[in-house]
Structure 1
Amino acid sequence: MDYIEREKISTKSSLISIFTNTFLAVLKIAIGFFTNSMAILADGLDTATDILTSFMTLIAGKISNKPPDLKHPYGHERAETIATKVVSLIIIYAGFEVLINSINRLIKKDVIIENALFVVIIAFISVITKFILYKYRLSVGKKIESNAIIADALNMRNDIFTSSSVLIGMVALYFTGIWWLDSAIAIFVSFMIIKTGFEQFMESSSEFMESSPELKDIYDIVIEETKKMKCAKNPHKIRARKFGYKIFIDMHLELPPEITVKEANDICAKLESKIKEKKKNIRDIVIHIEPYGNAEKECFGIDSNNIKDLREE
């Protein structure tokens, strides 16, 4: 998939998400003020953060889909990681705001819900809409291998649980009239919002620190494919890094000392091709050649000896 097609799919997905979430957010916040329900208002604010998330992924998608240039030889894909980091902080802030306001209302017993049936109806609409949007965004994210869109989809999956909680709680309030249920639900929603923001923050931090969980599979692929090569031995100093959806690999490899440069190059080219066949988003592999038994003190990188320790983490 080329840059233009990827950007087109990403833009369409983000615009659909923005318009759908805008409709839901306006509806929920309006109903929240109309009924004095903090629970549906909190759910509306959560949906409003989804608008921001989708808008950020839209902008980041346009930047990240630019091809590499002289200033950015690895490409622009980390724009998505930056967007995820910014959005995560906004989500965490929104969660704390909802939490503080809900606790204050609970302490003051300032809870009078009017027309609770409207809240139930809106919450039900939100659950159905969010489920459809979640499945759509997740499929798009996997198709174009965009971590930002996948993170946005997973956030929407959390919204399904959030809206479901509001729906169940408001049904209970409608039939029982228990005054504190609305604030209690809002507090629960706030924790869900904070949790989502924190997870996105940690995920983007891992990518900046080049310790993404996805890279564990990459190291397995490199070692397994090297074992299948006739002359290649001891793949070591293997280091993989993620730039958005692209992966770059550096590694050292031992080959027979008597072979020619052309033969060594042919072996490396074949190994590179085999590795890329296993993972399509691997864009480049740099292989440093060493003779058999080359004694070097390796202080970093992955090899056959420490790959087990990585899997256990």
Structure 2
Amino acid sequence: MNDDNRNKLVNRAAYAGIIGNTFLAILKLFIGIFTGSLAILADGIDTTTDIATSFLTLIAAKISNKPPDKSHPYGHEKIETIITKLLSLVIIFAGYNLLIKSIKNIITPEFKINNLILVLITASISVIIKYFLFKYKLKIGKKINSPSSIADAMNMKNDVLISLSVLIGITIYYFTGIKILDPIIALLVSLMIFKVGFETFFEASNDLMDGSKNLGKIYLDIVNVVDKYEDIKNPHKIRVRKSGFVFFVDMHLEINGEKTINEAHSIIMKIEKEIKQLNVYIKDITIHVEPIGNNEKECFGYDENLIKRTFGNEEENNGI
């Protein structure tokens, strides 16, 4: 997929989120203030943060598609991870504010809720719209391998659960009249927001630290390709790092010392081509060639045995 098509898909998903969430935010905030329901007001505040996340996703897409330059020779794709981290902080901040307000209302329940039917209708509308936004954004995010779009989609999934919990809680309140249920629901909503915020924060941190989490499929593909070549031995010092939606691969290979430079280069080019065909988001592969039997001490990176021990289960789960 070229950059223009990728950018169009990101923009389409982001604008869908902005339009849908703006409608829901206005509706929920108005109904929350009009009826006095803290639960639907909390849901509305959370939806307001979703508008910000959609705008941030647009910014990430615009910057990440810029070509490499003198200041950024690896490209600009990592901006998506940085934006994802910013999204997590926005989500955590929203969760904190809701938590404080919910606790205050549980301790001193001086509030009255009117027109519960309006709250129920609003929560039902929110569940339906949020579900479709979640499915749509997740589909786009996976198609273009965009961490910021996927993070935005998972935030939508969280919003579905939030709106659903509000709907269930207000329904119970409607039939039982237990007033304290409203701030308790708001408290549970804030905890859900916290959970998604911290999960997103730590996942983005792992990517920024070039962690190997969720990269097992690529590591296994690398060793499976190399194993096809009889003249290549001991793939080692293999390192894969994620940069936004693309990956960079470094590794060392041992090759028959009788091969000429041209012959070795031809084999290496074939290996690179095969690996990239297995994952179109691998942007660059750097291979260091050594003679077979090289005893140089190299203390970091994965070798074939360590990859199979660490990620072997992923090979079975993915049907590789």
> Shorter-chain-normalised TM-score: which range?
over 0.9
* 8 Å Cα contact 1:158-1:192 kept in structure 2: yes
Q: C-alpha displacement at 1:91, in angstroms?
A: 1.0
Identity of aligned residues (%): 53
Q: How does 1:57-136 map to 2 (within 5 A)?
A: 57-136=57-136
- Root-mean-square deviation (CA, aligned residues, Å) is 1.3
Structure-1 separation of matches of 2:122 and 2:201:
30
Structure-1 separation of matches of 2:309 and 2:181:
47
Structure-2 separation of matches of 1:45 and 1:153:
18
| Counterpart position of 1:168 | 168
| Counterpart position of 1:218 | 218
| Counterpart position of 1:291 | 291
Show structure 2 runs of 5+ residues with no match: 314-320
Structure-2 separation of matches of 1:108 and 1:291:
75
2:3 is equivalent to residue 12 of structure 1: no
| Counterpart position of 2:148 | 148
Q: Which amino acid aligns with 1:45?
A: I
| Counterpart position of 1:245 | 245
| Counterpart position of 1:232 | 232
Structure-1 separation of matches of 2:93 and 2:184:
19
2:25 is equivalent to residue 25 of structure 1: yes
Q: C-alpha displacement at 1:308, in angstroms?
A: 4.3
| Counterpart position of 1:189 | 189
Q: Alpha-carbon deviations, 1:125-172, whole Å to 9, x = none?
A: 000001111111111111111111011111101111110000000011
Structure 1 stretches of at least 4 aligned residues deviating more than 2 Å after TM superposition: 308-313
* 8 Å Cα contact 1:111-1:180 kept in structure 2: no
Q: C-alpha displacement at 1:212, in angstroms?
A: 4.5
Q: C-alpha displacement at 1:312, in angstroms?
A: 8.3
TM-score when scaled to structure 1? 0.97
Q: SS state of the match for residue 94, structure 1?
A: helix
Q: C-alpha displacement at 1:311, in angstroms?
A: 3.0
Structure-1 separation of matches of 2:6 and 2:212:
22
Q: Alpha-carbon deviations, 1:12-42, whole Å to 9, x = none?
A: 2111111110110111111111111110011
Q: Which amino acid aligns with 1:216?
A: G
Q: Which amino acid aligns with 2:37?
A: S
Q: Which amino acid aligns with 1:235?
A: P
Q: C-alpha displacement at 1:309, in angstroms?
A: 4.9
Q: Which amino acid aligns with 1:125?
A: I
* 8 Å Cα contact 1:235-1:252 kept in structure 2: yes
Q: How does 1:37-76 map to 2 (within 5 A)?
A: 37-76=37-76
Q: Relative to structure 2, which stretch is displaced further, 303-312 or 106-115?
A: 303-312
Q: Which amino acid aligns with 1:266?
A: S
Structure-2 separation of matches of 1:266 and 1:272:
10
Structure-1 separation of matches of 2:43 and 2:123:
9
Show structure 1 runs of 5+ residues with no match: none
Q: Relative to structure 2, which stretch is displaced further, 241-250 or 67-76?
A: 67-76
* 8 Å Cα contact 1:238-1:250 kept in structure 2: yes
* 8 Å Cα contact 1:111-1:182 kept in structure 2: no
Q: Across the two proteins, how many residue pairs are aligned to each other?
A: 313
Structure-1 separation of matches of 2:117 and 2:110:
20
* 8 Å Cα contact 2:80-2:245 kept in structure 1: no
